Amino acid sequence: MEIAGLTKKKIEEMIKEGKRMDGRGLLEMRPFEIELGISKKAEGSARVKIGDTEVVAGIKLGVGEPFVDSPEDGALIVTVELWPLASEKFEMGPPDIQAIEMARIVDRSLRESGYIDLKKLCVKAGELVWTVFVDIYPINDDGNLIDASAIAVIAALHEAVFPELKEDKVQYGELTDKKLPLKNMPIVMTFYKVGESFLLDPTVAEEEAAKARITVAMTFDKDEVFIHALQKAGDEPLEEREITEVLAIAMKEAKKVHEKILRQLK
């Protein structure tokens, strides 16, 4: 259900004045919390709440043949399920374009950053490798599902451990203490353009008032920042100066999110 025209106009007017309906600054995130180990059936799982937005992510590990063009690399598969439970906008059935796009954004952030060392998932070169299955389930959508999903996946991967592997068969339920081979943590930040301003961590109403969206995936190594992926959506084009502006903001704000995630995971 789209927001009413009067609500959209009110949001646009407030943002033009540098205000938001919930009192936050334009680039201020809502508090978020991470809960680990919410599923007894997954090799790793986490629930993330950003304001009233809630997302669950689960990790399953399986083995199979590698891809022909990467015989010594493990595999990564990311899926998103958008249920009516999370929003009246979502419907049961095959993944729609929004679910597919969200999965690709999270997948790209993991893959392009090299967060999972896929080469260390090789069991027998050309014959058997581990596959990391990442499942994302929004429970409640009050905006910013992309960033909430990315945080939930990072947390679930951080917690995940390998199950036992005997005679090339996975012994589900028999967990080892061996963690996934992870490198620098990618941080995903999504900005929405409403009027002439960019917002961080929008509510659903603010998302629906937006004309454009851009998502940035970054990693940090000491004082260096590496940008691994950009994803633009929405009808309104963005100028080069606007993209440069967003990248500068993203690099600054992502460090804060990175520190908050590390504190909660510890």
Helix, strand, or coil (residue 10): helix
Tokens of residue 265, six digits: 């995971």
As a whole number, mean pLDDT of residues 97-126 equals 97
- Please report, rounded to a whole number, the percentage of residues in the chain having pLDDT higher than 90: 92
CA distance 25 to 155: 27
At 137-187, the pLDDT tens digits run 999 999 999 999 999 999 999 999 999 999 999 999 999 999 999 999 999
Helix, strand, or coil (residue 221): strand
User: Is the pLDDT reported for residue 126 higher than 70?
Assistant: yes
User: Is the pLDDT reported for residue 208 higher than 60?
Assistant: yes
Q: Please state, in angstroms and as integers, the Cα–Cα distance from residue 166 to each residue in 47, 60, 123, 171, 204, following that order.
A: 31, 17, 12, 7, 47
Write phi, then psi, for 21 (nearest 5 degrees). Answer: -65, -25
- Please report, rounded to a whole number, the percentage of residues in the chain having pLDDT higher than 70: 98
Please report which confidence band the pLDDT of residue 99 belongs to, taking 50, 70 and 90 as the band edges. Answer: very high
As a whole number, mean pLDDT of residues 119-135 equals 97
CA distance 171 to 165: 6
Helix, strand, or coil (residue 37): coil
Tokens of residue 25, six digits: 């600054």
CA distance 160 to 47: 14
Domain ranges of the chain: 5-265
Interior angle at CA 21, CA 247 and CA 105, nearest 5: 35
User: Is the pLDDT reported for residue 134 higher than 60?
Assistant: yes
CATH H superfamily, domain 5-265: GHMP Kinase, N-terminal domain (3.30.230.70)
Helix 97-113 / helix 145-159 crossing angle, nearest 10 deg = 50
As a whole number, the mean pLDDT across the chain is 95
Start-to-end CA span in the chain (Å): 39
CA distance 26 to 256: 16
CA distance 60 to 221: 28
Q: What is the pLDDT of residue 1?
A: 44
User: Is the pLDDT reported for residue 4 higher than 90?
Assistant: no
CA distance 181 to 146: 24
Asked if 34 and 48 count as a contact pair (C-beta separation under 8 A), the reply is yes
Tokens of residue 42, six digits: 């997954």
Strand pairing of 75-80 and 128-140? parallel
CA distance 239 to 262: 34
At 5-33, the pLDDT tens digits run 778 889 999 999 999 999 999 999 999 99
CA distance 99 to 90: 10
Please report which confidence band the pLDDT of residue 221 belongs to, taking 50, 70 and 90 as the band edges. Answer: confident
Q: What is the pLDDT of residue 16?
A: 93
Which residue in 62, 98, 102, 94 sits closest to 78, CA to CA?
102
User: Is the pLDDT reported for residue 2 higher than 80?
Assistant: no
Q: What is the pLDDT of residue 223?
A: 80
Write phi, then psi, for 37 (nearest 5 degrees). Answer: 65, 45
